[in-house]
Chain A
């Protein structure tokens, strides 16, 4: 068994040495075949679910996916930068929602929006600074930030939920444009903005370089701490979109809003095919990954399965994707 598998690995290596394109193509083909089969099967089950294609569940799908999706877009930047993931983004969603409601009650909707976005960006950017400048471990920093955010929020909002004063949030930002929930339009916009940053800006290119090889990035003169901090600022920005949208939808804010969003977000990032080790990935693919995960969750809900089964399904999908990724890259 050992010898056969190592033989296979060797033939792959040798083929790569002489004809990389073909070898990659070959592996990529197997990989994408398995992926395609998986997605088609999922789609079949999903579309075959009674009531899935009916208006209400599609709309609820589009709305649910948007909250998690914006966090996943932010997470994508962190993952590409080589810092794996952040456990604090879910807490940031809740905290941003609260800051937004407080600021809106005090200063009005427009300024509140600005304060909310700024708060989320700075909060996460600060963690980026710790990781990029001090070179602290990203996972530890995010766990510490998670605890800090919950701790501080607890001290400030004893009652748990804070409500928007009547009339603070204009009715025009709730509902739909041309039948599409506004949340989903924001998610789409966030995806395109992130994709533009990644593929068309200098910062984006630096981000890929830092994620691909930190020392090589340093050696070619990329300012690594600025790049990492930048990634976190943007991650915070996209995450705070999610918090603000939740607050608008429910006219209130609660620290429970973003619970477990980090996990769903990283699942979307991985299903989308962004490399967990950094240096490779895209916002568009995370968008697709988020849609797959959300579709499965709605489907399970419609089939009458309880919450626990949704977690199980999300876990299984992520596991399958990670295994496929490892095999696909020949590692």
Chain B
């Protein structure tokens, strides 16, 4: 295969950290390469070096066998490299046309020229979107469609090597299918793709080969058809796959903890009913828009318009009041850490005790020693370093931030109900294993866990009971050996029962 991109012995250190150590690999023409590794493995640094955002300490980058000195993003662009970053970088109020040419080095000061319009049109046509109106504002598009515009942007600049950083993290399955299809067609045109993802399913479905980084070092580059899932995880983690998903302890007293009857949210959820036993993990599976995350949000008291009957240990809880739910030990871990989870400027300690202030206060006055003791004990349970208690929570890594939110929801030693949306989204494999361990510990205490997830592998790995949803309606319920990927996937994408 003709070599397009070659990375030779690239190293990069930051004060106190080695981000990349002597990393080398080659990418061929028309090849889709997965780039895998835990958070902090060096993937982002590598991307930044390729795009000229960061300069390597040593090593070289060659495109088409010519050594390139990429000192700034414009040079990377000119050399034929293009990046679709994790977060969309679109200007919502500008048109599709303007967004496609946004930041392009070619565009002169005034760019309303027929030539640019035509090339933008061609780029869209390559993605099978020839019928889209170039003058439509980007704000009218969905996230998935926005992602396509980002890819069109790279095609309009004729990028030969496309770097995609977790492009599917926030997309629904239908959008993911579409993106994957488009990427395959780009491969057929001879373009090369560096595909960064946490989702192993996509590695096997889409990619030709996979490069694994761990602690800034290149571990292996192999053809995808010669590796197994387990092998890949072991390479990323440096430990075995079996440790990933701990199973439920066998127990006979599976009493009922949560009963939901006729839970409805206008336009989102219609008459949903379920039972969550003690010590078990119930996973509600569904695509974006299926209403799965509405179940957990409503149970957490975050949806004022929710109606229905919910009892916890036989006592009814009133929907729509978070303080009430918190008082009854029904706690929620949001999937949106940045906006709905963390108190960024506050210390780790303050974050950990946020739901337990009542227990540490008398007449509204807080007891500092009690707060410190509580925070220290929670930190120990979820595996957050005690010495970090006084640092600002924003300085923690994503995985540690998530542990913090779990710690907050642990609710002391009492068993309760834990509601989680996408508990491991954007978290590396190592921290995920930790989160699963904490979830099982809670089960052992007798808590009921209800979670949503769009990661099928995770659902099959961790759930004791799976409930599938499609467009706000319950489709199926699976337990133990009935939990298999194919039936869940079928339920959440083409629910034959619902149509019949």
Contacts and interface: CB of A to CB of B under 8 A. Distances in A.
Task: Please indicate whether A and B come from the same complex rather than being unrelated chains.
Answer: yes
A22 B16 contact: yes
Interface in A3-55: 3, 6-7, 10-11, 14-24
B350 interface: yes
A18 B395 contact: no
B342 A221 contact: no
A260 interface: no
A216 B396 contact: no
A105 interface: no
A31 B236 CA distance: 39
B488 interface: no
Given A20-B395, A212-B346, A202 B357 contact: yes
A219 interface: yes
Given A7-B54, A216-B343, A220-B355, A19 B325 contact: no
Contact of B48 (A10, A203, A222): A10
B357 A2 contact: no
Given A2-B72, A15-B16, A21-B391, A221 B322 contact: yes
Interface in A214-234: 215-223
A208 B351 CA distance: 11
B350 A221 contact: no
Contacts of A17: 17, 40, 397
A201 B366 contact: yes
A330 B493 CA distance: 44
B14 A11 contact: yes
Contact of B16 (A2, A3, A19): A19
Contact of B361 (A2, A3, A11, A202): A202
Contacts of B336: 215
B361 to A, nearest CB: 5
B343 A208 contact: yes
Contacts of B361: 201-202
A203 B391 CA distance: 22
B334 to A, nearest CB: 6
B358 interface: yes
A24 B395 contact: yes
Nearest to A26: B15
Interface residues of A, number: 39
Interface string B409-443: 00000000000000000000000000000000000
B332 interface: yes
Contacts of A23: 395
A235 interface: no
A205 B340 contact: no
A209 interface: yes
A220 B300 CA distance: 9
Interface string A296-327: 00000000000000000000000000000000
B341 A216 contact: yes
A200 interface: yes
Interface of B: 14-17, 19, 40, 45, 48, 52-55, 71-72, 300-302, 322-323, 325-327, 332, 334, 336, 339-346, 350, 354-355, 357-358, 361, 364-366, 368, 387-388, 391-392, 395-397, 408
The 9 residue pairs across chains A and B that have the minimum distance between CB atoms? A20-B395, A221-B326, A212-B343, A14-B14, A221-B322, A221-B323, A280-B345, A279-B345, A215-B340
13 contacts: A10-B14, A10-B48, A11-B15, A24-B395, A208-B350, A213-B339, A213-B340, A215-B340, A216-B342, A219-B300, A221-B322, A221-B325, A279-B346
Interface of A: 2-3, 6-7, 10-11, 14-24, 200-203, 205-206, 208-209, 212-213, 215-223, 275, 279-280
Given A21-B391, A202-B361, A213-B344, 6 more contacts: A14-B14, A20-B395, A209-B343, A212-B346, A213-B342, A216-B342
